[in-house]
Each structure stands twice: as C-alpha cells, then as structure tokens.
C-alpha cells in the first residue's frame, strides 16, 4: 500500500553577492590640494583687491601695471615668456598626473571577502613578515626582502646546507607566506641564495 506525500520545497538562502574586484587605494593628496587652494585664493584675492581699488579711482598696484606692460610688449619668443609657459605646462601636467593616478604605492590591496570591507597591507609589513618566515628555514643566516607590487625579490645568505636545497625550501615557505598575506594580486617570487663572504 502506497501513500502520496506532499513534497515541501526547501527554501535556501540566496548566496551572498560576489565581492567587487579589489582596486588600488587612492591617495587623498591633501598637501598638493591645500597648496594649490592657498595659491589660487591668494592670487584671486590680491587681484580682486587691486581691481576694486582701481574702480575706487586709486592707482593700480605696480606689479599689475608692470605685468600688463610686459605682456603687451614682450615678444612670444622671449626667454622669460618661454620659461613661464614651460613652468605653467609642467605644473599643469603634475596636477593631471596627481589627479589620474591612485598613488599610495606602499599599500597593497588585499582580497575582498565581503563587499563592504576593503583592506590593504603595507609593503614594509609584508616584507617583514616574509623575512621572518625565511629566517625560520634551516641554513639561512640573513635575508633581504624587497617587496614590490608585482614581484618579491629575496636575497638570502646560507652558511650551511646545499644552496639548491635552501633555495627550494625558501621558495616553498615564502610561496605559502605570500598566499597567507591574502593579497589581491600575489606577486611573483624570485629567490637568490649565496654563501657568506669569506673573511680575510
């Protein structure tokens, strides 16, 4: 004897939305912005004051009269005109580069496990962590770690054991250490091992 049973659908929670791709951190650049704001505010205020003084039937400031005379009489191929134009172009390019580049090259973005959490790791801290891991390898006397955004350069000095064995151990240990850092873009690893210099 068989009985029909009603099947109750099992409700499953919706999977969490995937975390957005990690991006580099952008620098606030307060100092260049403050310098530019102060310079523009001072120049505009001085020019406005002089224009108001002329409107009140006072004489214009000497610097503005001299500047207007020089701009009206100097040829375009004059050295000072070219130097001023080059300086203005250089300042403009500098501001464009600051506006278009993220900066903060010392902060490495980490993997995003949650959409609303962003984390970064300082390069020096990452290099120090890898150096500590490398010093745990048997035979390593000293280590230098250069941490870049795309590459990690490791120079080790081994006073015993075969160099190839020490290098293989370092690659294994440091490869695991890089994975444990949780970086969004794990850098490539380059390991060099040498003997300490002979004394005398």
pLDDT attached to residue 138 = 94
Q: Which of 148, 147, 165, 166 is nearest to 156 (CA)?
A: 166
Q: Above pLDDT 70, what percent of the chain?
A: 88
* Helix then strand then coil, % of the chain, to nearest 5: 45, 15, 40
Q: Is the pLDDT of residue 14 over 60?
A: no
Q: Which of 73, 92, 174 is nearest to 128 (CA)?
A: 174
Task: Compute the average pLDDT of residues 151-163.
Answer: 94
Q: Is the pLDDT of residue 8 over 60?
A: no
User: Tokens for 161?
Assistant: 């054991």
Q: Is the pLDDT of residue 2 over 50?
A: no
Q: Is the pLDDT of residue 1 over 50?
A: no
Specify the DSSP element, H or E, that contains 109. strand 107-109
pTM for the model: 0.64
Task: Compute the average pLDDT of residues 6-18.
Answer: 53
Q: Is the pLDDT of residue 10 over 70?
A: no
pLDDT attached to residue 25 = 75
Query: What is the distance, to the nearest Å, from the Cα of residue 172 to the centroid of all Cα atoms in its chain?
Result: 28
Classify 23 in phi/psi space as left (phi over 0), alpha (psi -120 to 50) or beta. Answer: beta
pLDDT attached to residue 12 = 53
Classify 29 in phi/psi space as left (phi over 0), alpha (psi -120 to 50) or beta. Answer: left
Residue found under tokens 């850092």: 181
Q: Is the pLDDT of residue 19 over 60?
A: no
Q: Is the pLDDT of residue 200 over 80?
A: no
Query: What is the distance, to the nearest Å, from the Cα of residue 47 to the centroid of all Cα atoms in its chain?
Result: 38
How many whole angstroms separate alpha carbon 44 and alpha carbon 65?
16
Q: Above pLDDT 90, what percent of the chain?
A: 41
Mean residue pLDDT across the chain: 84
Lowest mean pLDDT among 24-38, 162-176, 179-193: 24-38
């Amino acid at each position: 004897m068989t009985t029909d049973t009603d099947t109750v659908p099992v409700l499953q929670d919706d999977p969490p939305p995937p975390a957005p791709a990690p991006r580099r951190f952008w620098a606030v650049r307060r100092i260049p912005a403050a310098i530019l704001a102060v310079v523009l505010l001072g120049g505009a205020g001085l020019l406005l004051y002089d224009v108001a003084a002329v409107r009140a039937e006072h004489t214009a400031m000497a610097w503005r009269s001299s500047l207007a005379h020089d701009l009206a009489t100097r040829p375009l191929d004059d050295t000072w005109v070219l130097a001023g134009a080059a300086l203005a172009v250089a300042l403009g390019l500098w501001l464009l580069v600051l506006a278009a580049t993220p900066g903060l090259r010392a902060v490495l973005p980490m993997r995003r496990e949650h959409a609303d959490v962003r984390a970064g790791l300082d390069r020096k801290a990452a290099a120090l962590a890898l150096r500590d891991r490398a010093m745990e390898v048997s035979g390593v006397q000293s280590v230098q770690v250069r941490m870049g955004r795309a590459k990690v350069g490791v120079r080790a000095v081994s006073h015993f054991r075969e160099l190839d064995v020490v290098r293989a151990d370092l690659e294994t240990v440091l490869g695991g250490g890089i994975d444990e850092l949780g970086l969004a873009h794990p850098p490539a690893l380059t390991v060099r091992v040498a003997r300490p210099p002979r004394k005398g």
